[in-house]
């Protein structure tokens, strides 16, 4: 990797967040509370931050909300609207562990052709959210979808272990079982098919075409038609050359495809603006060169 590769910096941020939520309970135990809470509700020097889905569940069940809850969820959605689902690829400790279990591999591509981007993984997660929100006021008194929050379980397990000297066995077993299944299967099925937390933050940026994103400059692409390095680099098996809604909602701006493209013409980049740029001949952008 070069100095300007994205993944080493992303790994540094991911590891820092993972370690921070081990250290924060120790700070709280020492009565330092400028940082406190978990991934469902967090306090950063008096500024509330929160999981938008957790807040929505509370509002659905109780038909009410507190000001800190609305502010915390709003700030998280604002970040997602401007930067995309960067929480998933840069901040989520389970995402970091899942990528390591995936052995830093990208997408297993078929022998021929390119995998078609399917909206089904995002639709499956949206269906889980809809079912959970419908069940809260009817069947369960607590936010049921919080039980599927992997970063929530991780941070709460650290809190309980340090502050209350107890093990949240349900969360520990769930995280370990999912990571073991992903290690054996070589697929990141939880983040792609199950995680409900990623739905709202994925939808938040759809109305903003100029938000931070992976951008594809078709006129700069020098790859042959059968060169699939950027597709193979994606952990979620997305196609960074596409611009449709499923792509925009699912892409977590990890930058792995940009790193893979850096030695192949640099047609992919990360920044604010529309996803496709045609700088040479607007309206007549050539596609990738055909294979021999």
27-47 residue pLDDT tens? 999 999 999 999 999 999 888
- Residue 22 pLDDT: 96
CB 83 within 8 A of CB 212: yes
Question: Are the C-beta atoms of residues 188 and 250 closer than 8 Å to each other?
Answer: no
Q: Is the pLDDT of residue 113 over 90?
A: no
CB 194 within 8 A of CB 148: yes
Name the residue with higher pLDDT: 9 or 118. Answer: 9
Specify the pLDDT at position 283.
41
Tell me the pLDDT tens digit for each residue of 46-59.
888 989 998 888 88
Between residues 118 and 58, the one the model is more confident about: 58
Q: What is the largest CA-CA distance in the chain?
A: 67
By the 8 A CB rule, do 136 and 57 touch? yes
Q: Are 209 and 117 in contact (CB under 8 A)?
A: no
* pLDDT in the model for residue 292: 34
d(CA 131, CA 233): 33
CB 267 within 8 A of CB 223: yes
* pLDDT for res 175: 97
- 3-state SS class at 216: strand
Q: Closest by alpha carbon to 148, among 165, 136, 164, 160?
A: 136
Contact 220, 279 (CB under 8 A): yes
If pLDDT is split at 50, 70 and 90, which confidence band does 276 have?
Answer: low
d(CA 43, CA 49): 6
The pair phi, psi for residue 174, each rounded to 5°, is -60, -50
Task: Quickly tell me which residue has 């609207």 as its tokens.
Answer: 81
Domain boundaries, the chain: 6-208
Q: What is the mean pLDDT of the chain?
A: 84
pLDDT mean over 210-235: 83
Residue 287 has pLDDT above 50, yes or no: no
**pTM for this prediction:** 0.85
| 140: CB partners within 8 A, 6+ apart | none
31: left (phi over 0), alpha (psi -120 to 50) or beta: left
């Amino acid at each position: 990797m070069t100095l300007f590769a994205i993944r080493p910096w992303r790994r540094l941020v991911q590891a820092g967040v993972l370690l921070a939520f081990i250290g924060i309970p120790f700070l709280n135990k020492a009565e330092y509370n400028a940082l406190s809470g978990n991934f469902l509700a967090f306090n950063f020097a008096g500024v509330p931050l929160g999981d938008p889905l957790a807040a929505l569940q509370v509002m659905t069940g109780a038909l009410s909300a507190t000001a800190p809850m609305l502010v915390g969820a709003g700030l998280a959605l604002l970040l997602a609207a401007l930067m995309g689902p960067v929480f998933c690829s840069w901040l989520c400790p389970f995402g970091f562990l899942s990528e390591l279990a995936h052995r830093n591999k990208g997408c297993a591509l078929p022998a021929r052709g390119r995998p078609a981007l399917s909206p089904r993984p995002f639709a499956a997660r949206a269906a889980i959210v809809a079912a959970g929100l419908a069940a809260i006021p009817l069947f369960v008194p607590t936010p049921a979808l919080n039980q599927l929050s992997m970063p929530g379980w991780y941070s709460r397990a650290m809190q309980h272990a340090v502050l209350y000297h107890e093990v949240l066995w349900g969360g520990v077993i769930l995280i370990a079982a999912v990571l073991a299944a992903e290690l054996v299967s070589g697929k990141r099925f939880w983040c792609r098919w199950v995680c409900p937390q990623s739905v709202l933050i994925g939808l938040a940026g759809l109305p903003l075409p100029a938000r931070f994103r992976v951008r594809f400059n078709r006129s700069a692409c020098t790859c042959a038609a059968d060169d699939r390095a950027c597709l193979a680099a994606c952990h979620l098996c997305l196609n960074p050359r596409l611009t449709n809604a499923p792509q925009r909602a699912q892409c977590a701006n990890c930058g792995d495809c940009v790193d893979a493209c850096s030695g192949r013409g640099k047609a992919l980049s990360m920044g604010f603006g529309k996803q496709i740029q045609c700088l040479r001949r607007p309206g007549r952008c050539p596609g990738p060169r055909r294979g021999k």
